[in-house]
């Protein structure tokens, strides 16, 4: 055998052994962690998982013989260490494969004092159980095929969720709805690719002459479904994380007053001296069910004041990093060059709404005035007459934001299929590969070009559910988990 071939065989052998030991390690060691957190509480749950979990827990348990326990049963008794009774507990037994991890699992329900929990854990470790890594229970559930990657990640999202929208979207994904949708798409793609391959191999029995038109139609329809998923994800993220909103305008136009109005309280100092808001202020407010992450900018203007200068730089950054800019002008004063200068700092990708503030002091022909403003600001058609003092125009502002970001309809958590950016990127790649197939069809390329891009799309979708996840990706994903999960 030549040197190169020996090298390949050796590498293959090393890889095989690595996986073999990984599987041995996976199957053999028994892990434990407190699943309820380490703070004083009425009860705490310590989860133990692994092939020997029942035997090992039984060795420190005084009560029923757990090794004879049926699955999904609860047993009253005591955790003991030699002659010491550590705690009075309830042990729930879940036998493989019907457990969270797919392995034999014992959940020890003990009292929630920090010392009790630590002592029970310590006793378990002395009996031969190892401390679980963050996310290791869920990782085992994934590696044992109990759940796929989207479900595993939605466990994390569910734990992190702080509002009902995020919770509902995570539960929806945890129930496997994402995976089944992705699998349907993958099946469709595989059908297309295998038909083409079969036809290329056996042209006598398969006819590809009309297939291009059919394939193009199918791919356009599939792409539009994928596109919709991305749209729902983007809208869902905006709703979940909040719209990064910046309030901008020259000094004294009413930025701090608007911030106070939105927050319903005095937060920024409102004065009639230009330049008093020295720094950006960050707050969150809820506007008709839409969360805005607000930052008020220091009045942007030429300044020699060093403190103010820092605030001004930050304001420019804040505008660049926002999703929405609420741009204020003073309706009682003529539009100045500084107004247009600040307005022109707003990048094209940032949605802007112009608020003509102090409308309570105005006595003008609304529509004519709004047209003039719109013209002055590059034809911007989101212009609202507003009063930060009286709150006039607030409903219009809410409607406008709803309209601009959600086309008037807030997303339904049941329609949000993706829970994180990783999944979105894979979906993006799948879409790109499908667009290449369409291009090949349009450019009259031969059919074998189609299958390679179709398979790329198939694999990108597979990444979402973890069908081809390597060790590195798996480790990276699960390391973000909290202990005991």
Binding site for ligand GDP (CB under 6 A): 249, 251-257, 270-272, 277, 299, 357-358, 360-361, 387-389
Max CA pair span of the chain: 94
Structure tokens at 72: 């999904």
Q: Rounded CA gap, 444 and 465, in Å?
A: 33
Of all residues in this chain, which one has the CB nearest to ligand GDP in the complex? Answer: 254
CA 66 from centroid of its chain's CA atoms? 40
Nearer Cβ to ligand GDP (277/295): 277
Residue 73 · residue 93 · CB < 8 Å? yes
Q: Give the shortest CB-312-to-ligand GDP separation in angstroms.
A: 13
Residue placing its CB nearer to ligand GDP in the complex, 101 or 257: 257
Shortest Å distance, C-beta 334 to ligand GDP: 16
Shortest distance, CB of residue 259 to ligand GDP, whole angstroms? 8
Residue 323 CB, nearest approach to ligand GDP (Å): 21
If DSSP codes are grouped into helix, strand and coil, which group holds residue 75?
strand
Q: Reduce the DSSP state of residue 401 to 3 states and report it.
A: helix
- Closest CB to ligand GDP among residues 135, 249: 249
Beta carbons within 8 Å of 323's beta carbon, 6+ residues apart:
238, 243, 244, 245, 350, 351, 405
Minimum CB separation from ligand GDP for residue 385, in Å?
10
**CB of residue 400 to ligand GDP, shortest distance in Å:** 17
Q: How far is the CB of 360 from ligand GDP (least distance, A)?
A: 5
* Lookup: tokens for 418: 């993706």
Q: Which is nearer to ligand GDP, 299 or 484 (CB)?
A: 299
Work out the number of other CB atoms within 10 angstroms of the CB of residue 448.
11
Closest CB to ligand GDP among residues 265, 409: 265
Closer by beta carbon to ligand GDP, 89 or else 248: 248
Q: How far is the CB of 251 from ligand GDP (least distance, A)?
A: 5
Closest to ligand GDP by CB, 129 or 356: 356
Nearer to ligand GDP, 144 or 396 (CB): 396
In total, the chain counts a number of residues equal to 485
In whole angstroms, the minimum distance from the beta carbon of 364 to ligand GDP comes to 14
> CB-wise, 387 or 433, nearer to ligand GDP?
387
82, 77, 49, 53: which is closest to 65 by C-alpha?
77
**Tokens read off for 138:** 């869920």
C-alpha separations of 447 from 187, 215, 433 in Å: 19, 11, 15
Asked if the peptide bond before residue 353 counts as cis, ω within 30 degrees of 0, the response is no
- Expressed in percent and rounded to 5, the helix, strand and coil fractions of the chain are 50, 15, 30
> Considering the complex, what minimum distance in angstroms separates the CB of residue 256 from ligand GDP?
3
Tokens of 190: 């595989």
Alpha carbon distance 299, 428 (integer Å): 39
Q: Tokens 């042209």 correspond to what residue?
A: 203
The nearer residue to ligand GDP, 35 or 252, going by C-beta atoms, is 252
User: Per residue, what are the HEC states of 300-368?
Assistant: CCCCCCHHHHHHHHHHHHHHHCCCEEEEEEECCCCCCHHHHHHHCCCCCCCEEEEEEECHHHCCCCHHH
């Amino acid at each position: 055998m030549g040197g190169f071939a020996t090298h390949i065989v050796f590498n293959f052998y090393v890889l095989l052994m690595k996986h073999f030991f990984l599987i041995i390690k996976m199957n053999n060691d028994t892990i434990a962690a407190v699943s309820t957190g380490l703070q004083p509480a009425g009860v705490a749950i310590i989860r133990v998982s692994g092939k020997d979990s029942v035997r090992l827990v039984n060795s420190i348990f005084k009560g029923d013989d757990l090794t004879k326990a049926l699955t999904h049963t609860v047993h009253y008794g005591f955790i003991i260490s030699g002659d010491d009774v550590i705690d009075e507990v309830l042990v729930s037994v879940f036998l493989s494969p019907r457990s969270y991890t797919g392995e034999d699992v014992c959940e020890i329900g003990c009292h929630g004092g920090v010392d009790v929990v630590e002592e029970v854990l310590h006793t378990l470790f002395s009996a031969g159980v190892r401390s679980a890594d963050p996310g290791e229970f869920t990782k085992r559930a994934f590696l044992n095929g109990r759940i796929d990657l989207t479900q595993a990640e939605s466990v994390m999202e569910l734990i992190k969720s702080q509002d009902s929208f995020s919770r509902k979207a995570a539960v929806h994904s945890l129930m496997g709805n994402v995976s089944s949708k992705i699998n349907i798409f993958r099946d469709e793609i595989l059908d297309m690719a295998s038909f083409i391959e079969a036809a290329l191999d056996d042209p006598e029995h398969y006819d590809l002459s009309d297939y291009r038109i059919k394939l193009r139609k199918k791919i356009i329809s599939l792409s539009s479904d994928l596109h919709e998923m991305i749209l729902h994800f983007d809208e869902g993220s905006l709703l979940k994380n909040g719209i990064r909103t910046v309030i901008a305008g020259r000094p004294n136009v009413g930025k701090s007053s608007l911030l106070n109005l939105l927050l319903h309280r005095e937060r920024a100092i409102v004065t009639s001296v230009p330049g008093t808001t020295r720094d950006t202020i960050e707050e969150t407010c809820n506007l008709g069910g839409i969360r805005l992450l607000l930052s008020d900018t220091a009045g942007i203007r030429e300044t020699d004041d060093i403190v103010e200068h820092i605030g001004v730089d930050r304001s420019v950054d804040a505008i660049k990093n926002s999703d929405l800019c609420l741009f204020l002008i003073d309706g009682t004063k003529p539009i100045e060059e500084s107004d247009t200068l600040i307005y022109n700092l707003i990048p094209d990708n940032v949605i802007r709404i112009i608020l003509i503030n102090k409308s309570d002091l105005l006595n003008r022909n609304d529509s004519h005035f709004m047209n003039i403003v719109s013209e002055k600001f590059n034809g911007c058609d989101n212009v609202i007459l507003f009063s930060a003092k009286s709150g006039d125009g607030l409903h219009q502002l809410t409607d406008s934001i709803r309209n601009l970001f959600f086309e008037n309809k807030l997303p339904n958590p049941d329609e949000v299929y993706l829970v994180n950016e990783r999944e979105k990127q894979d979906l993006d790649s799948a879409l790109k590969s499908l667009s290449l197939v369409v291009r090949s069809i349009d450019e009259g390329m031969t059919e074998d070009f189609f299958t390679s891009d179709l398979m790329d799309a198939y694999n990108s979708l597979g990444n979402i559910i973890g069908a081809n996840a390597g060790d590195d990706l798996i480790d990276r994903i699960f390391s973000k988990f909290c202990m005991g999960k």
